[in-house]
Amino acid sequence: MKVTRATFDEVMVPNYNPAKMVPVKGEGSRVWDQEGVEYIDFAGGIAVNCLGHCHPAMVKALTEQGNKLWHLSNVFTNEPAIRLAKKLTEATFADRVYFANSGAEANEAALKLARRWALDKFGAEKNEIIAFTKGFHGRTFFTVTVGGQPAYSDGFGPKPGAVEHVDYNDLAALEAKMSDKTCAVMMEPLQGEGGVISPDAEFVKGVRELCDKYNALLVFDEVQTGFGRTGSLYAYQQTGVTPDILASAKSLGGGFPIGAMLTTAEIAEHLKPGTHGSTYGGNPLACAVAEAVFDVVHTEEVLNGVKHREELFKRKLAEINERYNVFKDIRGQGCLLGAELTDEYAGKARDFLNAGADEGVMVLVAGPNVIRFTPSLIIPEADINEGLARFEKAIAKLVG
């Protein structure tokens, strides 16, 4: 069957508006469309393809597991899930892991666990969740309500209650909002969708201290920042602060759908059999692929390489900006970077994305004013140079 971009409009729900071209093949950090046009991929499936496209270790793991066992459900357990959970707990603060299919599901599990923990230990009055404006935690109704962007949560009827928001990096505002009713504070250790915004070091430490003061759990949403994206396995490891619950997804499977919630043994005890579940969570195929991704990412070579790529991207983007003066700020960590547009180009981030695609480079946006780069953690230096050269051509055309 021959399909085109026009076929999408005939058969798909119109909640997406994808690019005109249809990618059909990927290798490393390069992608080819139906017409054979090549693109350099700085988007990485929105911070998912941490090892690029069709990495040999992932293909091998998928092929081998695909010839063994595809699915069981959690009526049984399986070896890939247990192995992956063991590696995650050995590499982090966590003692226990719950597997899901996506970041939204991992965050949903984290929020439900926080509420159940508070109910069991302190009673029904302790149910308030505080999160941050411009935050993003998924598209389920609970997670999109906790996310601090009304544009995503309004218009679907009454929202889940006992959810409050304060501004990111405003410790005084958080302190004013917290009380003995607060059961959890949920935050990204670096806001992705909200504009690639890093927290002040003292802010993160202050949030942890306030959670301790009010017997509230600190929940880190590391769906985008996690699994090597910032140059450590998880971004919390660079903050000097340990959360009580952590959500992981995106890069965890390197392109195969999987999510995970990590927590301590004491907190995990409150999700007793029957309190929460997932048909596909812990699927053998997903866990086998994620284990292969873990084995590649969790090495000094790759994690140090992420920091090197951050320096290269920032330096090259600054050089481009010296010539065209389109960026107000170039920020972020590791391979999660944002270039905020100057006031002259405010609101036009998508124009830069589209212009980049026309020149053969795939980038993202983080809101209307920020161009976001989330490439493979192992993208070759030559591809960074070539991709940014293409992006500079796009900028030159846009600014005339």
Are residues 211 and 185 in contact, defined by beta-carbon separation less than 8 angstroms?
A: yes
Decide which of 259, 278, 297 is a domain's last residue: 297
Given the residues 41, 221, 244, 383, select the one marked as catalytic. 221
| Sheet containing strand 364-365, strands side by side | 327-333, 336-341, 370-373, 364-365
Indicate if the alpha-carbon torsion angle 341, 346, 347, 350 is positive or negative: negative
Claim to verify: residue 207 and residue 110 sit in the same structural domain: yes
> What is residue 126's three-state secondary structure?
coil
Question: Each residue's pLDDT tens digit in the chain (400 positions)?
Answer: 999 999 999 999 999 999 999 999 999 999 999 999 999 999 999 999 999 999 999 999 999 999 999 999 999 999 999 999 999 999 999 999 999 999 999 999 999 999 999 999 999 999 999 999 999 999 999 999 999 999 999 999 999 999 999 999 999 999 999 999 999 999 999 999 999 999 999 999 999 999 999 999 999 999 999 999 999 999 999 999 999 999 999 999 999 999 999 999 999 999 999 999 999 999 999 999 999 999 999 999 999 999 999 999 999 999 999 999 999 999 999 999 999 999 999 999 999 999 999 999 999 999 999 999 999 999 999 999 999 999 999 999 999 8
- Here the CATH number for the domain that contains residue 172 is 3.40.640.10
Claim to verify: residue 232 and residue 311 sit in the same structural domain: no
Residue ranges of the annotated binding site for pyridoxal 5'-phosphate are 103-104, 136, 221-224, 279
Claim to verify: residue 377 and residue 388 sit in the same structural domain: yes
pTM above 0.95, yes or no: yes
Q: Known catalytic residue: 294?
A: no
Q: Known catalytic residue: 136?
A: yes
Decide which of 270, 297, 324 is a domain's last residue: 297
User: Exposed (0-12), middle (13-18) or buried (19+): which is 274, by Cβ within 10 Å?
Assistant: exposed
Q: Known catalytic residue: 348?
A: no
What is the residue whose two structure tokens read 């390489």? 305
Decide which of 264, 297, 330 is a domain's last residue: 297
Scored b (16 or more CB within 10 A) or e, 331-344 reads bbbbbbbbbbbeee
Claim to verify: residue 12 and residue 156 sit in the same structural domain: no
Claim to verify: residue 117 and residue 257 sit in the same structural domain: yes
* Residues 232-256 pLDDT 10s: 999 999 999 999 999 999 999 999 9
Given the residues 126, 250, 316, 348, select the one marked as catalytic. 250
Residue ranges of the annotated binding site are 103-104, 136, 139, 221-224, 278-279
Residue ranges of the annotated binding site for N(2)-acetyl-L-ornithine are 139, 278
Strands (E), the chain: 23-27, 30-33, 38-41, 96-100, 128-132, 163-166, 182-187, 217-221, 245-248, 259-263, 327-333, 336-341, 361-362, 364-365, 370-373
Where in the sequence is the domain holding 320, given as residue range(s)? 5-54+300-399
* Residues 324-348 pLDDT 10s: 999 999 999 999 999 999 999 999 9
Q: How far apart are the first and last CA of the chain?
A: 42
Indicate if the alpha-carbon torsion angle 98, 337, 200, 177 is positive or negative: negative
Given the residues 99, 132, 136, 142, select the one marked as catalytic. 136
What is the residue whose two structure tokens read 């069957």? 1
In total, how many domains does the chain have?
Answer: 2
- Here the CATH number for the domain that contains residue 375 is 3.90.1150.10
